[in-house]
Structure 1
Amino acid sequence: MGAFLDKPRTEKHNLHAEGNGLRYGLSSMQGWRVEMEDAHTAVLGLPGPGMTDWSFFAVYDGHAGSRVANYCSKHLLEHIIMCPANKGAGETQSSQTGSDSSAWDSPTLVPPTVETVKSGIRTGFLKIDEHMRSFSDLRNGMDRSGSTAVGILLSPDHFFFINCGDSRAVLYRNSHVCFSTLDHKPCNPRERERIQNAGGSVMIQRVNGSLAVSRALGDFDYKCVDGKGPTEQLVSPEPEVFEMARAPEQDQFVVLACDGIWDVMSNEELCEFVKSRLEVSDDLERVCNEVVDTCLHKGSRDNMSVVLVCLPNAPKVSEEAVRKDAELNKYLESRVEELLSRPAEEGFPDLVAVMRNLSTDIGMPLLPPGGGLASKRSVIEAVYNRLNPYREEDGSGAELEYHW
């Protein structure tokens, strides 16, 4: 289940880069959990001949430890790329000479087919899971960690969405969510059937009443049923892979995130919030940080990681949006100052009371869609701390709740 801290750790890890016609940013935060178990991968330009215009991004949500998530973040991509070519994938120089070759490392640079790529991804997941089983600490139960994995492989012409577990990827196209990966939960009929066929059960929506996901890498305690193959175990390492043709004039952005984000935001809410923030700032790290902070203030108690991949047709900064956002911030600042200037019989109001009061303000300008008042918590908190006569020297103020 995981243990929690007395207060969240809000330091963030950030990255950003651009290439192959893409821009990406990412943010991760430990939050309330006692350990940071998330990891990520972001690669612009894959290794190997003819692969420089391909890119790969992924988020790994570890559980019962970070070992599997961290290993996959460093090595999953190489396991995918090094899978042998499918039979019938096309004539290559290497196949003519009989040498063993990667599906994507052909001396004649024959582009891999869609089915070759999908097969290579699936095989890569099974191979890395098999490889990790050889690690003594994982094999002997000294480390019982596992990890979900959600990713996207981008070729010049296609998206390959990859999912194993309950992290999620969404594609925002033509100003609406046009695709989302499917969470692998034990209560899903297909997953439940496999679990029961392997001699397990689904209780309180968990595998054997314990694990909340039905597919994951690692978790070898759930992968030891004799007579069953790797994809027939209580927990399967097999990913689902969805291919979509790219639509350059319509595709706007892709979001990959762990369930610490999706626990408090729907697909539509998160994408609308991201869109609104991209109209205010082209700093993708800042946008991702706002996502993570907003989810914390919406009540997420988990580790949080988000990767935002912006495509050429992503929303651009709008002067009108910037002006409205500044007006909203100014309004909130003045309202907090007004609320704190009123005499109160109970003494100086806490921040939760201020937030609740603002949530009923019918005269407030429009808040960011999907984010609501929680997305402006930092603005409100800055004014509150400045005017709080009981503020501690370190600036933290009184102990505050993060959800109201």
Structure 2
Amino acid sequence: MSVFVWIAADTVTTLTVVHAQPVGRNLAAGGLYPNSKIQKRLFDKRQMATLRLTSVVGIGHAEDPNPRFRKQMEDVCVMIDKLGNSHSTGFFAIYDGHGGQEAARIAGDNLHRYLLEDLLNQKLEHLLEADPLANQSMSQPAGPQAGSKLSPDGHSVGGNPPGGSKDSQLNSAISSGVRTGTFSKDKIPPSGKARVPVPPNEPSKLGTIIRKAIQRTDDVLRQKNVLYVGCTALIALVTKYTIEFASVGDSRAVISINGTAYRCTEDHKASDKQEIDRIKSLGGTVIFGRVNGFISVSRALGDHCIKNLVTCDPFLRSYPRYPAPDSVGVTANSTNELDEFIIMACDGVWDVVTDQQSVDTVRKCLKETGSPQKAAFELKNLAIRSGTQDNVSVLVLLLREISKWI
């Protein structure tokens, strides 16, 4: 079996496809190959559309260095299908560098390997295929959990889901679940099981391993004396039963549920009040929205000159896939009947495009062309036209066949 690692190349028209063949003995019963030999090939965007995927239905990638405002491309995108030889698992990440690309390149080359190695060393590779809620009783609805709820497009609201039409109640219920990690039995589509995701920052087992991989990557950057260069980390680990999100910094993931945008991660910005309070409690300052007047993100990999203030502790969320893949007639890659696609992008997009605008743009293009690749390029172009002054990187992960939701 092979593992595909796709890393963005230097141009916007090609992708570097890293084909990892196993070397030496099979390191695990599940076929994890964290020390694979790397061979590189180039695929253009047309060839990319023909690649057969197993972890997601389809994928689109687009990037633009935006040379009018930026001297170099500092973003790195990593796309891995069949992670660790698990056909239902994919690893997708964006590392948005600042001060240079060094930190982003190191993270892009290593973080997923550290994740696999940790799974192997702890003999936890079965988690990629295991149902984390298998032993949980499905007969009782989930109880209330603390935390604010998230309405469409990232605005926080409080209270219980409002009354009104069936659609409005459903949208309100879904937004509550995405934000707080609660999906009560009466708040999910009738075709789904009452499966309760782990609340944000109360990590699942896989979330804990992702956190360790992030910390290990940051430790490597410290060992390499990466003092004044750093990067964000935005990760979506797609497994058989869940999608594990992790974010450090201001890159963002958004999911389209029945055409409505719901934010899956939280931005770490120095202008955020909670982050300002944290930084000040550690003896730092925020000057013009920058930590000690240095960087605008309050969490990052690297930046070890101010590591006591700019932590790499990630935001984590475990999002359940519906219906349960072990249901009769349901494949391993089935998702909620309303889940459509995930957009992952750096702040070069989110500085000028709202969550809902991004979903509307991608959804319209998918309906017209059926191509997640074209949809990613359309969103990238929208960010450029809207006046972004940063590098732009976009990933579109198609969760369900377009014909099933158009």
Superposition TM-score tier, normalisation by shorter sequence: 0.5 to 0.7
SS in structure 1 of the partner of residue 100 of structure 2: coil
- In structure 1, stretches of 5+ residues that fail to align are 1-8, 86-99, 224-232, 319-404
Counterparts of 2:247 and 2:132, CA distance in 1: 21
User: How far did 1:101 drift?
Assistant: 2.7
Counterparts of 1:317 and 1:214, CA distance in 2: 38
Aligned residues of 2:61 and 2:394 also touching (Cα < 8 A): yes
User: How far did 1:13 drift?
Assistant: 4.2
2:342 pairs, out of 254, 263, 269, with 254
Q: Structure 1 residues 310 and 110 mapped into 2: Cα distance closer, same or farther (>3 Å)?
A: closer
Aligned residues of 2:361 and 2:378 also touching (Cα < 8 A): no
Normalised to the residue count of structure 1, the TM-score between the two structures is 0.64
**1:23-38 matched pairs, under 5 angstroms:** 23-31=58-66, 32=68, 33-38=70-75
SS in structure 2 of the partner of residue 185 of structure 1: coil
Whichever residue aligns with residue 45 of structure 1, its letter is K
Counterpart in 2 of 1:221? 305
Counterpart in 2 of 1:45? 82
Counterpart in 1 of 2:317? 242
Question: What do residues 287-334 of structure 1 show as CA deviations (whole Å, max 9, x unaligned)?
Answer: 21222122111111110000000012446797xxxxxxxxxxxxxxxx
Counterpart in 2 of 1:176? 260
Q: Does residue 267 of the first structure (1) align with residue 288 of the second (2)?
A: no
User: How far did 1:180 drift?
Assistant: 3.1
Question: What do residues 174-223 of structure 1 show as CA deviations (whole Å, max 9, x unaligned)?
Answer: 22113331110113233222211221101111101221000110111111
User: Which region of structure 1 is more displaced relative to structure 2, 109-118 or 160-169?
Assistant: 109-118
Q: Structure 1 residues 159 and 314 mapped into 2: Cα distance closer, same or farther (>3 Å)?
A: farther
SS in structure 2 of the partner of residue 170 of structure 1: strand
Counterpart in 2 of 1:290? 378
User: How far did 1:11 drift?
Assistant: 4.5
SS in structure 2 of the partner of residue 280 of structure 1: helix
Normalised to the residue count of structure 2, the TM-score between the two structures is 0.64
Counterparts of 2:76 and 2:284, CA distance in 1: 29
Counterpart in 1 of 2:292? 208
Aligned residues of 2:251 and 2:346 also touching (Cα < 8 A): yes
Counterpart in 2 of 1:330? none
Q: Does residue 104 of the first structure (1) align with residue 141 of the second (2)?
A: no
User: How far did 1:104 drift?
Assistant: 2.1
1:70 pairs, out of 98, 101, 105, with 105
Counterparts of 1:110 and 1:291, CA distance in 2: 34
Aligned length: 279
Question: What do residues 248-288 of structure 1 show as CA deviations (whole Å, max 9, x unaligned)?
Answer: 21110000000111111000001001000011112322221
Question: What do residues 20-57 of structure 1 show as CA deviations (whole Å, max 9, x unaligned)?
Answer: 34210101110131010000110111115xx3311111
User: More relative contact order in 1 or in 2 (CA 8 Å, sep 6+)?
Assistant: 2
User: How far did 1:155 drift?
Assistant: 1.0
**1:178-197 matched pairs, under 5 angstroms:** 178-197=262-281
Task: Return the index of the structure with the highest Cα Rg.
Answer: 1
Counterpart in 2 of 1:128? 217
Higher helix share: 1
Q: Structure 1 residues 307 and 20 mapped into 2: Cα distance closer, same or farther (>3 Å)?
A: same
2:250 pairs, out of 166, 170, 188, with 166
Counterparts of 1:190 and 1:84, CA distance in 2: 33
Identity %: 29
Counterparts of 1:28 and 1:69, CA distance in 2: 15
Counterpart in 2 of 1:61? 96
Counterparts of 1:281 and 1:110, CA distance in 2: 35
Aligned residues of 2:57 and 2:401 also touching (Cα < 8 A): no
Counterparts of 1:26 and 1:75, CA distance in 2: 20
Counterpart in 2 of 1:343? none
Q: Structure 1 residues 11 and 79 mapped into 2: Cα distance closer, same or farther (>3 Å)?
A: closer
